[in-house]
Amino acid sequence: MEVSTAPASPEDYYVIFKKYVEEGYDILNMSISSKISSTYNVASGAAERVRKEYPDCNIYCFDSLRMAGALGLLVIYALQLKKDGKSMDEIIAWLEENKHKVHQMGPIDDLIFVARRGRISMGKAIMGNFAGVKPMGDCSSDGYVSVMTKVKGISKALDITVRYAEKMGTNIEDQYILISHSDRQAYAEKLAGMIENTLHPKKVY
């Protein structure tokens, strides 16, 4: 079965935004990178529609320029800031200032997925899978993922991930680290242990 995703419809966003505005809430909508999904633009259009009906409402659509775990980590920080008593404007300012400081590093386990999206030929994907090649990437400043290196084998890939986090991180002992995976629980737990033992972050999710 081929798995695919699609953004919610403009009407879906409109209904949800309108519901919470009528209940008196401010709304902070956090979207996956607008460079790889139309989600941010769809949400922004729905927010503008609601603003015309409720001029005093407060809706902010945040383009994370990040995806997957990197977006998830920004959500964690936003929630923590809210728990710390920060205002919505303060949370938005923090997110806009720090979104490019959130990194996302890890191996692509199956190159067939990459080939299906036209990034490489199917022949190269098959040979790369056979050889155990793992492309390693990070979010770029323009909202895409750029391949930074390629390694062979999962052990090397996990080691490179930890070394990259150590190189790019600032005050890691005060930072959260989020490990996201696609049904690779054993690898995720191994990486968590490596990170905790080497980098000693504030918390690993």
| Cross-strand partners of 203 | 176
Q: SS3 letters for 55-102?
A: CCCCEEEEECCCCHHHHHHHHHHHHHHHHCCCCHHHHHHHHHHHHHHC
Task: Give the residue-averaged pLDDT of 3-27.
Answer: 91
Sheet harboring 106-107: ordered strands across?
106-107, 133-139, 145-152
Specify the amino acid at residue 123. G
Query: Are 189 and 161 in contact, with CB atoms under 8 Å apart?
Result: no
pLDDT per residue over 140-180, tens digit each?
Answer: 888 887 778 888 888 999 999 999 999 998 899 999 999 98
β-pair type (203-204, 176-177): parallel
Residue 26 and residue 15: Cα distance in Å, rounded?
Answer: 15
| pLDDT > 90 fraction of the chain, expressed in percent and rounded | 64
- State the Cα–Cα distance between residues 64 and 205, nearest whole angstrom: 20
Q: Give the pLDDT score at 149.
A: 83
DSSP state letter for 8 = P
pTM of the model: 0.81
Strand partners, 139: 145
Q: pLDDT category, 125, cuts 50, 70, 90?
A: low
Residues forming beta bridges with residue 128, ordered by sequence position: none
Band (pLDDT 50/70/90 cuts) for residue 126 is low
Q: Which pLDDT belongs to residue 144?
A: 82
